[in-house]
A and B are shown apart, each in its own frame.
Chain A
Amino acid sequence: MTTGPRPAVGSIAVEATALEKQFNNVRAVDGIDLCVRRGQVFGVLGPNGAGKTTMLKMLATLLSIDGGSARIFGIDVAARPHEVRQLVGVTGQYASVDENLTGRENLVLFGRLLGLPRKGAAQTAEELLAAFGLADAADRQIKQFSGGMRRRLDLAASLISRPPLIFLDEPTTGLDPRTRGQMWDTIRQLVRDGATVLLTTQYLDEADQLADRIAVIDRGKKVAEGTPDELKASVGNSTLHVRLEDRTRTADAAALVARVLGEDPVLTPEAGGLNIALADANRAADVLIALRQAELGITTASVRQPSLDEVFLALTGHHTSDADQNEVAR
């Protein structure tokens, strides 16, 4: 498939140093360093407004770089944008396809823009429509596409030139669980085919499922980086959430948990709720038995993966600004 010299496996696909972006008075991206190896899936995790999309747009030549530098496969993004654009496929947060055109027309248009001959563009469009399960809807205008279909078409459009590096900006935000699973399969397939993927997400479980390495971004700064396991270990492997029958006894319960586990639980925003980080899920039973023995009645108990908010709390000492993201329960 590949002709010509090929960089050794493990060479660097994306390298950013002290990347900065200023919007009026706001530092949207404030000195981020990033290093993505070839063949890796690199997840950028953070809440809304953390600067993920801004960073991705700078790397994709869609926004100018205010400070620092970035290289894609060794090519400077600011100095040689046209070359960088030939190496990167970008799938935006909001489907960047033409509403007025049909699925097929969109893919043919992008194929033609990328220099494919008329026939080649039509054939590539056909192949991609089939691969993404859009063949039946090919001749419908995008206006009539569902959210999941738009995302799939958008990703298909990013693959026309078969770019070695793919940027995915929140690829599954707003998708239902089934469509989300399909998108994950597609991303895994891309990596098997040799692509390097840089994706942003608000969901810890998505980063956990897909990424080899995760950077956590908060307010334009990188607050942590590591493998998914390293990251989760920093907040415990799972979280026990309990809600007390009698919310006035929350302090007693917290003290009891601290005695059992040797670590303070986190009080949830709603009264009478405790989030208890567990290094080992089996310790949940110890906590529940202790509560029972102390006659602290509970209404609900659940063990789940730590949410992004808990990772955040552990890493930054503050909650994600958007409370909606607390529930990334399994």
Chain B
Amino acid sequence: MTPLLPTRGAAARPLAPRPTLRDTIDQSFAMAWRALIKMRRNPEQFFDVTLQPLLFTAMFTYIFGGAVAGSTAGYLPIIIPGILAQTTLTACMATGIQLREDMDKGVFDRFKSLPIARIAPLAGSAIADLLRYSIAATLTILVGIAMGYRPGGGILGVGAAWLLTVFAGWALAWVFTWLGTIARSAQAVQGISMMIMFPLSFLSNAFVPTQTMPGWLQTFVSINPVTLVIQAVRDLMNDGAFTANVGWAVLGCSAVVAVFAPLAVRSYGRKM
């Protein structure tokens, strides 16, 4: 038998009392690298972010276009930002489900036994999933353009809207990541996520103008972070305007991260 690596003495190196910020970032990127390899080996993980933009954009535009905006072409500036938000939200939901499945595997025992930051396994998948949100956002915009959408905000506006969408996806994913750490099974995460995802995406300004909704519903719609994001995306894409709505959207998403990221890390830590 060839010699193994010699063991280091117990007192050979000083022990770090906790991971530094630098360590945490390095470890998160190492975990993201792992997640990207897994995505490459399981390309079916990309179905939701590739098929949904193609299908939903065409479907909603042709179904609601005439009824809501008088014509399909007139509806595109309203619906494309809506579909952007909805598709990204669906992609976030998958983040939580996949995390739950992942956590049930033996390799997570090793992650827990390693001297790494507790947030690293969660942050790693959050970073890798940026790729999924990017694909979803890019495809939705391209399909819109192919259907005749001509965003008034120009390249800068569209680029900013794209960035905001990906950021919003990353931020809202922490809600589902938290669900992933508290639920008992991947099925449970899926079930609960659906119940959250549907109200968030449909009780918003994504598909129809909100004026015809009852007052109490308008109140919910107006504080729904998805509404804020969609409004900001419309301002950016259609007018190229960095309005207060953009600020509110970024603030709203940051608030979601500030609340749910610590919750997720805490419940992940307690699971062990």
Contact = CB atoms under 8 A, between A and B. Distances in A.
B9 A6 contact: yes
A100 B39 CA distance: 10
A130 B34 CA distance: 23
Interface stretch (A41-49, A80-88, A222-230): A80-88
Contacts of A145: none
Interface of B: 1-13, 15-19, 23, 26-27, 30-31, 33-34, 37-38, 41-42, 105-116, 120, 272
Complex A-B, nearest 10 residue pairs according to Cβ-Cβ distance, in ascending order: A2-B9, A85-B115, A96-B110, A112-B30, A164-B10, A96-B106, A83-B15, A90-B113, A195-B7, A162-B8
B12 A130 contact: no
6 contacts: A90-B110, A97-B106, A112-B33, A115-B26, A131-B5, A162-B5
A128 interface: yes
A101 interface: yes
Contacts of A109: 30, 33-34
Contact of B114 (A6, A75, A98, A113): A113
B115 A98 contact: no
Given A82-B16, A97-B110, A164 B8 contact: yes
A66 B14 CA distance: 29
Contact of B113 (A62, A64, A124): A62
Contacts of B26: 112, 115
B5 A86 contact: no
Contacts of A160: 5
Interface in A280-314: none
Interface stretch (A27-35, A171-179, A185-193): A185-193
A159 interface: yes
Given A113-B116, A113-B120, A83 B17 contact: yes
Interface residues on A, range: 35 or more
Contacts of A165: 10
B199 to A, nearest CB: 34
A159 B9 contact: no
A7 B5 contact: no
B114 A105 contact: no
Contacts of A38: 10
B2 A131 contact: yes
A99 interface: yes
A19 interface: no
Given A7-B10, A38-B10, A109-B34, A100 B113 contact: no
A246 interface: no
Nearest to A188: B1
Nearest to A80: B17
B9 A98 contact: no
Interface in A124-157: 124, 127-128, 130-132, 141, 157
A92 B109 contact: yes
A207 B112 CA distance: 27
Nearest to B34: A109
A1 B1 contact: no
